[in-house]
Chain A
Amino acid sequence: MDWRLLCILYIAYFADVSFCLSKVEGKVYLPADQHLADTRVILDDGEYRGFIKVDGSFVVHNVPTGSYVLEVLSPTYLFEPIRIDVSAKGNIRARRLNNLKPSAVAQVRYPLEMKAVALAKYFQAREKFSIFDMLKNPMVLMMVLPLLVFAVLPKLVNTSDPEVRKEMEESMKMFNQNSSMPDAAEFMSNLFGSGSNKQKAVTSSKSGKSKAKRN
């Protein structure tokens, strides 16, 4: 089906001078029929209105030929707006509202069945104080986790057990070996000092002192 052609046909209908008043019908489905009295059906922002009966049905009367947007407004729920096209002969077509591409046609069932899409959320939740939320804070995490590692972990391991102690000593050795790796500053001074040793460094410091004295 070529929707575009159909659309052009519809527009041709609108351009027709003949005039027709139609009614737009539908039914609103509300969860457990709450807030029926507060729910409103408006066409073109209140130019035409429909009133909902106890069974949820509504009729918008005296709608002339043209294209309209039908909205169901409720303080609690959100509904999808629907575009209603009324042809010169009084035929009615309902389609999804697409403001970006007004010519796009995605038809929906007529008579309309308006179902709540989502709960309207007007408010933001108050942030409540809770330990869990605070712990999730990255700053707190950065502080608390190392603290745990350094303070709590050694306590967990039973140091009086000789086997464990042995193991720990071994690992300490490993740690010491690692720490005996050349220091970065030392490495640099070695590099630029052209194969110098520790003595040179000492002398240089001495010479620094003497310079200070001279001053």
Chain B
Amino acid sequence: MQYNIVFTVKFVAVFGAFLCSFGDALYEDQIGKFDWKKELLGRVDHAVFDSSVSLNKHGFVTTEKGAIACINMRTGEVKWRRILPESDRKITYLAHVRDGLVVVSSKGMARLWDSASGILKWEVDLSVAAENRESFIVIHAATLERSYSEKTLLVILSKTGLHTIAISLTKRKPEIQSVLLNQELTDGDHDKIFVDSQNGKIIHLQLQSGVRLEVTVYDADNLSSPKQVTISTSWLESLAMTALLEDDTLLYVSNDVGAIHLVDLENGNTQATVPLLRLGIKDPVTMMSSNEEEDVAVHGSDVILSHGEGQMSLIKITGSTVKLMQTKIIPEVSDVVFKQKGTEVYAYFASQINNVVSIATVNVKTGKYNDDLTINVTLPPHTGTLEKVYVNMFLKRNTPVGFRALLQTTDETVFLVTQPNRIAWQRQEAIASVVHATMLDLPLSDVDAGIEAEFEESGKTKLMEMFFKRVSAQGSQLISWFNNILRDLKEDTLFTHKTRDPLIQVEGLTRDPFSLHKMIVLVTKSGVLFGMDSLTGEIVWRYFLSQLKGRQLHFFVQRTTAHYPHPPQALLLGLDSSQSQPPIVLAVNPITGVVIDLSADFINLESPVIQAMPFPVPDNHHLRPLIMLDADLNIHLVPDTSDIRAILSELNLYMYDVNVSNGLIRGFSLSEKNSAQLIWSMHLPNTHKIIKFSGKPALEKVDSMGRPLADRSVIYKYLNPNVIAILSESVDDAVDRSSLLLYVIDAVTGAVIHSTIHKKASGPVHMVHSENWLIYSYWNAKARRNEIASFEFYEGKKQFNATVFSSFQTRPDPIVMQQAYIFSAGISCIGVSQTDKGITSRQILFGLKKGVLFGLPRRFFDPRRPLHATERHREEGLVQYMPEIPIPPELYLSYNLTVEGMERIYTAPAALESTSLVLATGLDLFFTRTQPSKMFDVLKEDFDHLLIAVVLLGMFAAALITRRMAQVKQLNKAWR
């Protein structure tokens, strides 16, 4: 117990010291006022519904990102969510069993979760039984639900064995049985297990060399003595064309022979061979349903064959006779699902034509198509195509069954569709993999824009005309203000807050005076673009282009909303990762989401684009053209006009390119019109590979050129905008020989400004590079802890050239100051706050791996922090050096929320100098704002207007009263 006390004391001491110096935590009543969090899941892998017979509220999904979630099927909200460990994220199997949720990971962890609360009931590590635990992989799994006993059997096929886990309601601990297979399975494609819930059997199918099927039948209660049958078949490419039927019959379709074969599993003899032509099937069979369902009893002895152009044939097998029940033409079928509830068995066909998805239903027992049980929904525009359908069938009182379906589309959206033809909700899971985010100012309101327009055409109109225009514009402003007041009075909302954010009182998507309300543009990995309202996190627009998937996406804002009447414009550049396809270039209006595809102009590009950068100056339409450099050093411009080419030749621009794969860093001059010249290049030693590089933010605003010291002199910052920092990690990753190499390079001249080596250190590194400082985190391999290195560059006490910086001037080498600190939490990303004029001190933002967004003032990373602080140091605002950086919960920007899987932090300035907007992306999306030097330019929220008014009025009244009293007293004195 003693250590606990010591620990608390230390904690309290650290906190105490901290709060004295900052006290900059949130107030509890500020929760949710300006921050919001979107809890996301990622691309859905598996989905199941509550297995109860009647309609139930909950559905469960697992995703690519290792999330297991319970979703409320009425609203689409996440009820609970669990994230699997990074080392074991892939989920092979998901099932809902009575009141529990079974999840089997590919590395052999089987877990049962309580479906209501999400608390773990038990977990079983199946790999324990295996000899080689490293290569243990689960291939397939199924659930055997036996109606007569209370046991439910989970059947798992791994590469080395077959395992069953008996889940029983009475016993807490599951019973596990395992048998080893004769030989280790090569991959999962040729093996499949089926279960027969009626007879309590487990059947393992293995396709060997295309003409032999190995069938092993196990008794579910006793795995030890399986029956093995080898069936020689005509050519079978995969197991997709085989089906197991109820009474130990194997059915397979061979398109080569053009026949359906029935095989008895008992002895392996072929019972019947029925030519497809006799059933009226002329075209080769393309898909056979019933394969998806693991339980043989679900589809019984019925199979649906899809052939020709959307022809669906329901085939019934009784004994050795094969009968065609019905054929219907359903074009573009993407998925067929069998569902059984009680005695009802239905098959569902999901198809998509353009953006209309329809789900048709057939009663398998009678072979009748049921038109009442059809859902037709129109998916919203910019949605991908149907990928997977999960059907939830339930029994109803008057009609036998009802159903609803979870649709998953290629743009990673999940829809729930219900009868009659309704989309109940949708979840945009693409947002869980954001690759780029930008926060843009909203456009001005129409009235304000009118005044802006006046300036735009000021050269053309006459003085009187301009005067009248101005008067009318301001008149209309006044009228609209009155109208607003009147409307508020009518609606009785004059003194109420219009939005939940106390500082944003302008409704709708127009700019507020503090410019705190922004449009967030998200570019996602799956090729979906989102426009999001920063106030609520609602999606304003979306755009989907399937070709963007898998490409490297870059987003450049060319024109902001500040240039009325020109619309804002941004460019999305999608580069092919393998560099074989031409780039995709999209011109996006970031406010409205209108996209113009410019890719056609670049279709004939001969070599891949290696680098792109927007112009540092805008053209005469306030547009910053994009320069693209291809591998043959040709320059391409978007838009490409002769004017812009002329500007380019005057600009004297330079570009750099870092090739991470071969360690080559190059600098180019763009002084000639059509091609770039290589001016310098540098090869990193081949013992190291580049893991991170970062330039300074373009067009960064720096307020002060130097720092005043305690002796009243000034040390000037080295404000070279062309500096890039390159960090490389040693190829040798042994603890003793690992190292990190830092190069700080002037990207114009190629001059190395500074270089450092960290011995016994390795990645991952996260870096922030701005003004005259550089901060990055790395892993100290020897001491096994995260550390942060901080660098500052100074010119010295004299400024070389105060007006303009040129990399070509020979100036003295900058003074480099550096310090390192211990950071006791895992870091997933680092960012820095940004403000309008750059006056406010910076805040370093950390995305911690434990799901916390943490902000610390930059002065904690000041490399001039002294070992022993004196009065002079305190005067300069230097904190005494402590090796460990404190991480108190008071400075969590995300307070008690968990922001899972953070990947990047984006910041944007507001018009308020004190405030910076922060967006953290990753699995979750979190938006907030931060005031690194407290809110110095707006009255505090808790400013007591009433108290001040009362005090002032009181003073006024007291002054009046005392004046009167004094007069009376003097009068009395005079009379005396």
Residues of A that sit less than 8 Å from B by CB: 19, 21, 23, 36-38, 40, 42-49, 51-54, 59, 61-62, 67, 71, 73, 75-76, 78, 80-81, 96-97, 99-100, 102, 106, 108, 115, 117-118, 120-127, 129
Given A59-B123, A121-B889, A129 and B85 contact (CB-CB distance below 8 Å)? no
Closest B residue, CB atoms, query A61: B125
In the assembled complex, the Cα of A42 lies from the Cα of B82 at a distance in Å of 12
Q: A97-B824, A102-B785 are in contact. List 6 more A-B contacts (CB 8 A).
A: A48-B87, A49-B84, A53-B120, A59-B123, A62-B127, A81-B824
Given contacts A47-B87, A106-B3, contact A42 B850 (CB under 8 A): yes
**Stretch from B236-244, B538-546, B587-595, B892-900 contacting the other chain:** B892-900
Contact B85 A48 (CB under 8 A): yes
Write the nearest CB–CB distance from A53 to chain B, whole angstroms.
5
Pairs of residues from A and B, 10 with the lowest C-beta to C-beta distance, nearest first: A45-B826, A45-B849, A49-B85, A75-B896, A51-B120, A124-B25, A123-B28, A122-B895, A102-B783, A120-B889
Whether A62 and B88, one on each chain, are in contact in the complex, defined by CB atoms closer than 8 angstroms, is yes
B17 to chain A, nearest CB (A): 15
A selection of 24 A-B contacts at a CB cut-off of 8 Å is A45-B849, A48-B86, A48-B87, A49-B85, A51-B123, A53-B122, A61-B123, A62-B127, A75-B896, A80-B4, A80-B7, A81-B824, A97-B824, A99-B785, A99-B824, A100-B822, A100-B884, A102-B784, A117-B8, A121-B890, A122-B890, A123-B25, A123-B895, A126-B29
Selecting from B111-119, B519-527, B559-567, B671-679, the interface stretch reads B111-119
Quick one: closest B residue to A97, CB to CB? B824
A169–B942 CA distance with the chains assembled, in angstroms? 53
A51 touches B111 (CB 8 A): yes
Residue of B nearest to A21 (CB): B133
Q: Does B875 make an interface contact (CB < 8 A)?
A: no
Q: Digitize B64-104: 1 where CB-to-A-CB distance is under 8 Å, 0 elsewhere.
A: 00000000000000001011111110000000000000000
- Inter-chain contacts of B322 with A (CB < 8 A): none
User: Once bound together, how far apart are the Cα atoms of A78 and B10, in whole Å?
Assistant: 13
A37 neighbours in B (Cβ, 8 Å): 80, 117-119
CB <8 Å contact, A49 and B83: yes
A23 to chain B, nearest CB (A): 7
Mostly, the A contact residues are loop
CB-CB under 8 A from B866, the residues of chain A are none
Q: Which residue of A lies closest to B5 (CB)?
A: A117
- Residues B125 and A47 in contact, CB atoms below 8 Å apart: no
Quick check: A47 and B889 within 8 Å, CB to CB? no
* Contact partners of B26 in chain A: CB under 8 A: 122-124
Query: Residue on A with the closest CB to B888?
Result: A121
User: From residue B663, how far is it (CB to closest CB) to chain A in Å?
Assistant: 28
Q: Is B11 located at the chain interface by the 8 A CB criterion?
A: yes
CB-CB < 8 A to B890: which residues of A? 121-124
**Which chain B positions have C-beta within 8 A of A40?**
898
Q: Contact between B27 and A126 (Cβ–Cβ < 8 Å)? A: yes
Residue B119 contacts which of A45, A54, A125 (CB distance < 8 angstroms)? A54
Decide if A75 touches B850 in the complex (CB within 8 Å): no
- B113's nearest neighbour on chain A, judged by CB, is A51
Cα–Cα distance between A49 and B851 once the two chains are bound (Å): 14
Q: Chain B residues with Cβ under 8 A from A121's Cβ?
A: 15, 889-890
Near A by CB (< 8 A), chain B positions 123-138 give: 123, 125, 127, 133-134
Smallest CB–CB gap between B134 and chain A, Å?
7
Once the chains bind, are B3 and A96 in contact (CB under 8 Å)? yes
Total A-B contacts with CB atoms under 8 angstroms apart: 129
Q: Which of B117, B121, B122, B892 contacts A122 (CB 8 A)?
A: B892
* Residues of chain B contacted by A52 (CB below 8 angstroms): 119-120
A63 to chain B: closest residue by CB:
B87
With the chains together, A95 CA to B699 CA distance in Å? Answer: 49
The yes or no answer to B200 lying at the interface (CB within 8 A) is no
* B interface with A by C-beta (< 8 Å): 3-4, 7-8, 11, 15, 19, 23, 25-29, 80, 82-88, 107, 109, 111, 117-123, 125, 127, 133-134, 783-785, 822, 824-826, 848-851, 883-884, 889-890, 892, 895-898, 942, 944, 947
In the docked arrangement, what's the CA distance between A123 and B33, Å? 14
Assess whether B783 is in contact with A127, with CB atoms less than 8 Å apart.
no
Verify B4–A117 contact, CB threshold 8 A.
yes
When chains A and B are docked, how far (Å) is the Cα of A71 from the Cα of B85?
Answer: 14
Contacts of B896 in A (CB 8 A): 75-76, 120, 122
Given the contacts A36-B119, A53-B120, A122 and B87 also touching, CB distance less than 8 Å: no
In contact, B11 and A127 (Cβ under 8 angstroms): no
When the two chains form the complex, which single residue of B8, B87, B784, B824 contacts A62, counting CB atoms closer than 8 Å? B87
B787 smallest CB distance to A (angstroms): 9
* A129–B25 alpha-carbon span in the complex (Å): 19
Decide: B25 and A122 in contact? CB cutoff 8 A: yes
Interchain CA distance A108-B2 in the complex, whole Å = 11
Query: What is the CB-to-nearest-CB distance from B820 to chain A, in angstroms, rounded to a whole number?
Result: 13
Give every chain A residue within 8 A of B944 (Cβ-Cβ): 129
Complex alpha-carbon distance, A76 and B896, angstroms: 7
CA A45 – CA B508 in complex, angstroms?
41
| Most central of B23, B122, B125 by chain A CB within 10 Å | B125
Known: A53-B121, A96-B3. A126 touches B85 (CB 8 A): no
Interface pair A47/B85, CB less than 8 Å apart = yes
Please, which residue of chain B has its CB at the minimum distance from the CB of A23? B125
Please measure, in the bound complex, the distance between the C-alpha atom of A36 and the C-alpha atom of B854, giving whole angstroms. 24
When C-beta atoms are compared, the residue in chain B nearest to A120 turns out to be: B889
Contact assessment for B4 and A99 in the assembled complex, using a CB-CB cutoff below 8 Å:
no
Q: Which of A21, A36, A78 contacts B889 (CB 8 A)?
A: A78
Contact among A106, A120, A127 with B942 in the assembled complex (CB-CB below 8 Å): A127
Closest to A50 in B: B85
Residue from B82, B87, B850 with most neighbouring chain A CB atoms (10 Å): B87
A108, B3: Cβ atoms closer than 8 Å? yes
Question: Could you say which of A44, A54, A102 contacts B826, with CB atoms under 8 Å apart?
Answer: A44
CA distance A126 to B29 in the complex (A): 9
Complex formed: what's the CA distance from A36 to B120 in Å?
Answer: 10
CB neighbours of A71 from chain B (8 A): 850
Nearest CB in chain B: distance from A44 CB, A: 7
Q: Roughly how many angstroms separate A110 CA and B848 CA in the complex, as a whole number?
A: 27
**CA–CA, A96 and B4, complex, Å:** 10
Closest Cβ of chain B: how far from A117's Cβ, in Å? 6
Task: Tell me if A46 and B849 are in contact (CB < 8 A).
Answer: yes
Query: A57's closest neighbor in chain B, by CB?
Result: B120
**B85 — which chain A residues lie within 8 A by C-beta?**
42-43, 46-49
Q: Which residues of B contact A46 (CB under 8 A)?
A: 83, 85-86, 826, 849-850
**Residues of B contacting A45 with CB < 8 Å?**
825-826, 848-850
A contact residues around B824 at 8 Å (CB): 81, 97, 99
Complex alpha-carbon distance, A150 and B27, angstroms? 42
Q: A51 to B3, alpha carbons, bound, how many Å? A: 26
Which residues on A sit within 8 Å (CB–CB) of B83?
A: 46, 49
Expressed in whole angstroms, the Cα–Cα distance for A115 and B944 within the complex equals 42
Residues of B within 8 A of A117 (CB): 4, 7-8, 11
Cβ-neighbour of B107 out of A62, A100, A118 (below 8 A) = A62
Does A123 lie within 8 Å of B80, measured CB to CB? no
CA–CA, A52 and B121, complex, Å: 9
Closest Cβ–Cβ distance, residue B948 to chain A (whole Å): 11
Min distance, Cβ B317 to any Cβ of chain A, angstroms = 45
* B941 (CB) vs chain A CBs: closest residue: A126
Question: A51 contacts which of B80, B82, B87 (Cβ < 8 Å)?
Answer: B82
Centre residue among A49, A78, A127 by max chain B CB count within 10 A: A49
Note all chain B residues with C-beta closer than 8 A to A106: 3
Q: How far is the CA of A51 from the CA of B84 in the complex (A)?
A: 9
CB closest residue in chain A, given B122: A53
A56 to chain B, nearest CB (A): 11
A73 near B851 with CB under 8 A, answer: yes
The CA of A76 and the CA of B897, in the complex, are separated in Å by 10
Determine the distance from Cα of A80 to Cα of B2 in the docked complex, in whole angstroms: 13
The verdict on A129 contacting B4 (CB below 8 Å), with A53-B120, A78-B889, A123-B28 known, is: no
Q: Per a CB cutoff under 8 Å, which of B80, B134, B822 touches A99?
A: B822
A96 proximity list for chain B (CB < 8 A):
3
Residues of A within 8 Å of B133, CB to CB, are 21, 62
Indicate the member of A36, A53, A61, A102 with the most B CB atoms within 10 Å: A61
